[in-house]
Structure 1
Amino acid sequence: MWDDAERLRKIEEAEKQGTERLLSYFPAWIRNILTENIDGVEEVAMDLGRPLVVRIRGEQILYREVSQGDIEYFYNKVGSFRSNGRAGIPGTLHRISVIRDADELAIGFTIRFGRAIPGIAAPLREWIGGRESTLIIGPPGVGKTTLLRGIVEEKAKTLKARLVIVDTSNEIAGDGTVPHPIIGSARRMMVGDPRKQANIIMQAITNHSPETIVVDEIGYHGDVEVLETARRRGVDIVATVHGEDLRDVLENPVLKPLLGYPDLETGKRLTRPTFQIGIAVLSKGVYKVYPNFTGAIDQALRKEDPEGITINTLTKAQP
């Protein structure tokens, strides 16, 4: 396997080539806009007859209207979309989603610029380096998947092939049959349809002897039951879930079995939670770690502020 210098070189090369290829999909006028601030571009929204919207470092900037020619140019470059309305670029972390009209014709796209950031999870090594199952909480677009990749990068250094990623829509390790080098020696099992995620998780557990399973966005049909099975078999879980904060997650009825069956009315839970560590993504690069996730759940059920440690990757830990 590559040494650290070679791995970083491969990540840098993959990022450069992937961004260049994605930029080539856009009409020239959009490509010129994106190139001016490419490092800060997070998302592009292209809708027929509507202003182009580019999100740069959290700020949305509007440009001229998108034409039919712009839509056709981009669609032809992408080529095809999966049944879930998504497409990717082999070897990259970028994600392209299509909007169609009543006749199934493409009339818009959402393009999310995915990036591998080596070392992003290094400030969290104290909490992610062991065998504890970890739940990452945050709203869409705040950086949950980016952090998840960073945790995979850290854990893969020791677990290697005993770390298995169940990669729905190729969100974690990128598109194409060969995963992005950010995941190191970890293995990846692809899931083309979210409805099949639970089945692939079970295949990973029963067929490939993982110590740790990594899943992005749990909550699909059957996920909870199969993840409970994983824990009973001694497999650790690292997963993400949507929610503004811990209380949002506790209010999600689908996730109750993984959180100890919390009852918001009585302020109690029935069983031990599946996860030992919780990490709330507050904003890009800012996290609140719950080292005692069970205790944090109990505090939230009592309507108290859960105890945690805020980690700002630009500064230092705050109690």
Structure 2
Amino acid sequence: MEEVLNVLPPYIVSKIKESITASELNELEEIRLRVHRPTEVVLTSRSIMIDSIQLTQEESKRFLARITQHSVYRLEEELKRGFITLPGGHRIGLSGSVNIQDGMVKAISHVSSFNIRVARAIIGSAQMISPMIMDNHSNVLNTLIVGPPKTGKTTILRDIIRQISDAENGFQHHRVGLIDERNEIAATLNGIPQQPVGNRTDVMSDCPKAEGIIMMIRSMSPEVIVVDEIGHEKDSQGLLEAVYAGVKLICSVHGESIEDIQKRPSIQALIRERAIERFVFLDRLSPPGTVKNVYNHRFEEIKRAERIRSVQHEMDRHAAHPVHVHVGRNR
């Protein structure tokens, strides 16, 4: 949190603290600054508009220079990606006029909106899911986590990676290769993960998934590959290459039902080859990370009673190694 407050002008920090309680400050998820419009503060429980904070164009330029550390090179690179990563894994999204060159985004000019997203890892958020995605020998099963936006897919993936990498919650330890195309899971800064992804995890950030998978297999010999939000058919082809190489998969996709994912061209190859051994569906109507259904590769539901027995068995086995949960941002 301090990393976020330190980049903001002091008067903005003061007005935010005047508008919310001390306990609500710990619930802070986003601060949305917009030129000539009120600032929006998004909390876990509510969202408020602060009319007294309205950036001028000159303030916007100064803030952009501050968060890019007055580096022209960094400014150019960050404006191409549309966001800036801060120490601690926090991210500032940028919006404004987009410059196009040869059909590609060259940069965002005249930045008019900043979305400061507070990153908090929730240690133990995958506690109840992990036993459902391992076999009787505590090895990883190829898993697809399915859910609409804001159901906690990224948060769950991050904690699964950490548990697999550090042999927690019943897993055997494995070398994990994380292809973090949007740099949201590990939130690397100068190549160094700012979020807890485990001691045996290697990260390739800001890299297209399909290319990154092949590069990771060749260079780091991972036992498990993890990617977030499969979006293209070539992503599935890359994941199949990993399966054929004997590497296990953990990945996610947007969706709400079996019918949704069966219709998505981007994952048809994985379904057709029965590469996925567990489909974990998250519930959009419950708190982020809540499991609604779990299915095997034939889309046969693993009954709730079976899942509870499996989870309880693993929790009993590892009761001597409790997982401490830190409540924070769910994404």
Question: TM-score, structure 1 length as denominator?
Answer: 0.76
Aligned residues: 272
Contact 2:230 2:266 in 1 (8 A): no
CA distance, structure 2, for counterparts of residue 45 and residue 207 of structure 1: 39
Q: Give the equivalent residue in structure 1 for 2:106.
A: none
| 1:137-163: CA deviation from partner (whole Å, max 9, x where unpaired) | 122233211111110111112365621
Q: Give the equivalent residue in structure 1 for 2:298.
A: 294
Q: Give the alignment of 1:208-247 within 5 angstroms.
A: 208-220=220-232, 222-247=234-259
Superposed CA RMSD in Å reads 2.7
Task: Describe the shift of the 1:73–1:139 C-alpha distance in structure 2 as closer, same or farther (beyond 3 A).
Answer: farther
Deviation at 1:308, TM superposition (A): 5.6
Q: Give the equivalent residue in structure 2 for 1:147.
A: 156
| 1:80-108: CA deviation from partner (whole Å, max 9, x where unpaired) | 32522121014x22222100225711111
Q: 1:134 aligns with which of 134, 140, 143?
A: 143
Q: 1:206 aligns with which of 209, 218, 228?
A: 218
Deviation at 1:210, TM superposition (A): 1.2
Q: In structure 1, what residue type is equivalent to 2:55?
A: S
Unaligned runs of 5+ in 1: 1-18, 261-271, 297-305
SS in 2 for 1:280: strand
Deviation at 1:181, TM superposition (A): 5.8
SS in 1 for 2:112: strand
Task: Describe the shift of the 1:245–1:45 C-alpha distance in structure 2 as closer, same or farther (beyond 3 A).
Answer: farther
1:277 paired to 2:278: yes
Moved over 6 A (4+): none
Q: Alignment identity in percent?
A: 28
SS in 1 for 2:196: helix
Deviation at 1:199, TM superposition (A): 0.8
| 1:19-65: CA deviation from partner (whole Å, max 9, x where unpaired) | 21121122334424268423211222222222222221153222215
SS in 2 for 1:53: strand
Q: 1:184 aligns with which of 198, 206, 231?
A: 198
SS in 2 for 1:147: helix
Contact 2:223 2:248 in 1 (8 A): yes
1:41 paired to 2:54: no
Of structures 1 and 2, the one scoring higher in RCO (CA 8 A, sep 6+) is 2
| 1:203-252: CA deviation from partner (whole Å, max 9, x where unpaired) | 11223221100111222462111111111221111111122344322222
Q: 2:176 aligns with which of 155, 160, 163?
A: 163
Contact 1:45 1:52 in 2 (8 A): yes
Contact 2:89 2:195 in 1 (8 A): no
Q: Give the equivalent residue in structure 2 for 1:9.
A: none
Q: 1:75 aligns with which of 64, 67, 75?
A: 64
Unaligned runs of 5+ in 2: 69-74, 100-108, 313-331
CA distance, structure 1, for counterparts of residue 151 and residue 32 of structure 2: 17
CA distance, structure 1, for counterparts of residue 233 and residue 41 of structure 2: 33
